[in-house]
């Protein structure tokens, strides 16, 4: 009995599946066992037709295909190829050592790409489960971006069989080790970026404080809340932030491509961080993920390593806002169902925007606010203190005026972000300042004597919680990095304290 390995998605990660075929003397039949779902059960007809297209005579025996482990649910038409290979080569002396095979078969024996194939192969490659892989030629442009693979692309079932029948003629391709984008090298690791800014901060006139806050937020991936009158530039700033975010490692680019694949989008492998902006009418399941049987990925997890923007945040349901607290603090989200428990990464820059009151004119110098005090308090109380405690930067934006001018551009801001990014990694950090844990804060956020005195006074005066102290230290660390200072000094800490929610 011969074996060939394949895999299936189990939530967010791939699990290896051992495919084996047995021929038994009995009435002719074809059965697939091992918790195979409909897409795999239907493969029997595709496999028979594809084998017939290469003049293979299906044996007049009972053919049983087992997918092991039998207690793992398997889904996906990519099991067609390994099953067909095992049946066609059952009577030969060929072995399938180190090989994994994926691909959907057409009735004429042609191999086709599947939507989950990239996500499966990437997950296996990250865990070093896979080296030699047989895939449809249609999948080559995506799979070749995953480093460390020995790829055998084929167009038909016949070409796949030739890999084992005539191995000397097999077409082998090594996957790419680098992407063709501008990059910087830090600690012998490449970080890629783009130099295009379709939305530019130069288009925002005035708002110097908001631009400074946006720059700090981008440098350290600090959560930020914009408050201001309608039309002052809150959403404009948020939509320009993704283009100045720090460069991406190859792992982050591949992770983004995996999320695109799981969402049904074609991965572009561009070093541009994700921007997700759900509407306030979105359901909790669409934002956090869910499903009655298999938990599906939501907006919060799709924003991993990127930016999540909540516009008009007070209008989001209370249960959605309170559910944000754990992803913002722990940087992961655990979705539990009866049949599955799935853990998603949620390490993103959280950006939110709100008006100062329901009508939006409370801070206006030209328009009259029509809200009473009760309405204003009720509006602001939609954001609880625990949620606001997870916001690093609060910035109040002023109305625009005729004297406002364009100043700094996104390109100039990104150069500062890139320099600050390099400082953080060269210091030995594995995370950017905004995502440091308590132990890393003690190691990297070093205060001088004057700044320590200021912090002690602030803790006493403003009754800062431990989380608020840590947020202030991480923010001051980023401001110091922008000034290329090894230690956090008094001006850096004072500026960080100014961004507290008041």
Q: In whole angstroms, give the CA distance from residue 139 to residue 158.
A: 17
Residue that terminates a domain, selected from 151, 174, 197: 174
DSSP letter assigned to residue 3: E
Tell me the CA distances in angstroms from 139 to 17, 39, 43, 146, 263, one per residue in order.
20, 19, 20, 12, 17
- For residue 478, the domain's CATH number is 1.10.8.60
pLDDT grade for 294, boundaries at 50, 70 and 90? low
Q: In whole angstroms, give the CA distance from residue 452 to residue 30.
A: 75
Which residue stretches of 382-409 are H helix? Answer: 385-388
Domain limits at 41? 2-174
Q: In whole angstroms, give the CA distance from residue 8 to residue 38.
A: 14
Residues 493, 390: one domain?
no
Q: Classify residue 179: in a domain, yes or no.
A: no
Q: What are phi and psi of 74, to 5 degrees?
A: -115, 135
- The pLDDT > 70 percentage for the chain reads 99
pLDDT grade for 23, boundaries at 50, 70 and 90? very high
Residues 455, 391: one domain?
no
- For residue 79, the domain's CATH number is 3.30.230.10
Helices (H) and strands (E) in the chain, counts: 20, 20
Is the predicted pLDDT of residue 189 greater than 80, yes or no? yes
Residues 242, 337: one domain?
yes
In this prediction, residues 169-187 reach a mean pLDDT of 88
Residues 414, 304: one domain?
yes
Q: Classify residue 431: in a domain, yes or no.
A: no
Residues 337, 305: one domain?
yes
Which residue stretches of 221-296 are H helix? Answer: 234-240, 250-263, 284-288
Residue that terminates a domain, selected from 174, 209, 227: 174
- Chain CA centroid to CA 279, Å: 19
pLDDT tens-place string over residues 409-428: 999 999 999 999 999 999 99
Quick one: pLDDT at residue 105? 97
pLDDT grade for 287, boundaries at 50, 70 and 90? very high
Helix (H, G, I), strand (E, B) or coil at 74: strand
Q: What are phi and psi of 476, to 5 degrees?
A: -65, -35
Q: Which residue has the tokens 């691909």?
A: 103
Among 480, 474, 466, residue whose Cα is nearest residue 441: 474
Is the predicted pLDDT of residue 405 greater than 90, yes or no? no
Q: Classify residue 397: in a domain, yes or no.
A: yes
In this prediction, residues 105-133 reach a mean pLDDT of 91
Is the predicted pLDDT of residue 296 greater than 90, yes or no? no
Residues 386, 443: one domain?
no
Q: In whole angstroms, give the CA distance from residue 37 to residue 51.
A: 22
Q: In whole angstroms, give the CA distance from residue 312 to residue 309.
A: 10
Q: Are 192 and 177 in contact (CB under 8 A)?
A: no
Tell me the CA distances in angstroms from 286 to 89, 296, 311, one per residue in order.
45, 9, 16
Relative to beta strand 104-105, strand 111-112 is: antiparallel
In this prediction, residues 465-476 reach a mean pLDDT of 95
Q: Are 121 and 173 in contact (CB under 8 A)?
A: no
Q: What are phi and psi of 87, to 5 degrees?
A: -70, -45
pLDDT grade for 365, boundaries at 50, 70 and 90? confident
Residues 82, 117: one domain?
yes
Quick one: pLDDT at residue 340? 72
Helix (H, G, I), strand (E, B) or coil at 53: helix
Quick one: pLDDT at residue 12? 80
Quick one: pLDDT at residue 27? 92
More confident residue, 13 or 459: 459
pLDDT grade for 292, boundaries at 50, 70 and 90? low
Q: What are phi and psi of 85, to 5 degrees?
A: -65, -45
Q: What is the mean pLDDT of the chain?
A: 92
Residues 7, 61: one domain?
yes
Tell me the CA distances in angstroms from 220 to 26, 93, 296, 339, one per residue in order.
67, 58, 30, 38
**How many domains does the structure of the chain reveal?**
3
pLDDT grade for 293, boundaries at 50, 70 and 90? low
Q: Classify residue 353: in a domain, yes or no.
A: yes
Residue that terminates a domain, selected from 422, 448, 464: 422
Q: Classify residue 443: in a domain, yes or no.
A: yes
Q: What are phi and psi of 16, to 5 degrees?
A: -70, 135
In this prediction, residues 376-394 reach a mean pLDDT of 94
Helix (H) or strand (E) holding 183: strand 183-186
Q: What residues pair up with 132 in beta bridges, in sequence order?
A: 99, 150
- For residue 287, the domain's CATH number is 3.40.50.300
Residues 286, 315: one domain?
yes
Residues 216, 297: one domain?
yes
Quick one: pLDDT at residue 400? 81
Residues 153, 192: one domain?
no
pLDDT grade for 170, boundaries at 50, 70 and 90? confident
pLDDT grade for 97, boundaries at 50, 70 and 90? confident
Q: Classify residue 427: in a domain, yes or no.
A: no
Q: In whole angstroms, give the CA distance from residue 369 to residue 115.
A: 52
- 24: burial class by Cβ within 10 Å (0-12, 13-18, 19+)? exposed
Quick one: pLDDT at residue 295? 67
Residues 476, 331: one domain?
no
pLDDT grade for 181, boundaries at 50, 70 and 90? very high
Question: Which stretch of 17-21, 43-47, 127-131, 314-318 has the lowest confidence by average pLDDT?
Answer: 127-131
- Chain CA centroid to CA 385, Å: 28
Q: What residues pair up with 177 in beta bridges, in sequence order?
A: none
pLDDT tens-place string over residues 60-95: 899 999 999 998 999 999 999 999 999 999 888 777
Quick one: pLDDT at residue 154? 96
Cβ neighbour number for residue 122 with a 10 Å cutoff: 24
Is the predicted pLDDT of residue 243 greater than 90, yes or no? yes
Q: How many residues does the chain have?
A: 502
pLDDT grade for 386, boundaries at 50, 70 and 90? very high
The contacts of residue 396 (CB under 8 Å, 6+ apart) are 227, 228, 356, 363
pLDDT grade for 395, boundaries at 50, 70 and 90? very high
């Amino acid at each position: 009995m011969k074996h060939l390995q394949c895999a299936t998605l189990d939530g967010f990660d791939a699990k290896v599946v051992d495919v084996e075929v047995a021929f038994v003397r009995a009435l002719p039949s074809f059965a697939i066992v091992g918790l195979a779902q409909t897409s795999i059960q239907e493969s029997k007809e595709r496999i028979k037709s594809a084998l017939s297209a290469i003049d293979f005579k299906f044996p007049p025996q009972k053919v049983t295909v087992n997918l092991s482990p039998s207690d793992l649910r398997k889904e996906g038409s990519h099991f067609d190829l390994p099953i067909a290979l095992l049946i066609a080569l059952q009577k030969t002396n060929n072995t399938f050592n180190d090989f994994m095979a994926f691909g959907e078969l057409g009735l004429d024996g042609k191999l086709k790409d599947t939507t989950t194939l990239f996500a499966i192969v990437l997950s296996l490659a990250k865990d070093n489960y896979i080296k030699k892989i047989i895939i449809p030629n249609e999948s080559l442009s995506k799979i070749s971006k995953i480093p460390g693979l020995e790829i055998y692309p084929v167009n038909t079932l016949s070409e796949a069989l030739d890999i084992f029948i005539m191995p000397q003629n097999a077409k082998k391709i090594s996957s790419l080790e680098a992407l063709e984008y501008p990059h910087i090298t830090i600690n012998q690791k490449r970080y890629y970026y783009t130099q295009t800014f379709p939305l530019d901060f130069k288009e925002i006139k005035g708002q110097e404080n908001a631009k400074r806050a946006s720059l700090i937020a981008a440098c350290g991936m600090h959560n930020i809340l914009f408050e201001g009158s309608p039309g002052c530039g809150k959403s404009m700033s948020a939509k320009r932030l993704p283009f100045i975010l720090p460069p991406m490692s190859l792992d982050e680019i591949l992770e983004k491509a995996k999320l695109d694949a799981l969402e049904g989008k074609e991965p572009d492998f561009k070093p541009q961080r994700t921007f997700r902006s759900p509407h306030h009418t979105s359901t909790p399941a669409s934002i956090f993920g869910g499903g009655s049987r298999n938990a599906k990925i939501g907006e919060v997890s799709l924003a991993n390593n990127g930016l999540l923007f909540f516009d008009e945040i007070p209008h989001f349901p209370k249960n959605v806002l309170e559910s944000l607290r754990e992803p913002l603090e722990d940087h992961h989200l655990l979705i539990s169902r009866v049949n599955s428990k799935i853990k998603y990464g949620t390490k993103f820059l959280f950006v939110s925007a709100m008006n100062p009151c329901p009508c939006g004119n409370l801070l206006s110098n030209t328009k009259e606010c029509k809200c009473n005090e009760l309405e204003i308090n009720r509006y602001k109380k939609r954001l609880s203190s625990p949620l606001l405690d997870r916001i690093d930067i609060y910035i109040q934006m002023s109305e625009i005026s005729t004297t406002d001018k364009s100043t700094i551009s996104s390109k100039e801001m990104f150069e500062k972000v890139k320099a600050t990014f390099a400082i953080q990694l060269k210091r030995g950090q594995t995370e950017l300042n905004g995502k440091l844990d308590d132990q890393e804060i003690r190691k990297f956020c070093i205060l001088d004597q004057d700044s320590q005195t200021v912090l002690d006074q602030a803790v006493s005066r403003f009754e800062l919680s431990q989380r608020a102290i840590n947020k202030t230290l991480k923010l001051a660390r980023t401001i110091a990095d922008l000034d290329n200072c090894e230690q956090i000094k008094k001006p850096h800490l004072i500026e960080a304290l100014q961004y507290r929610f008041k």
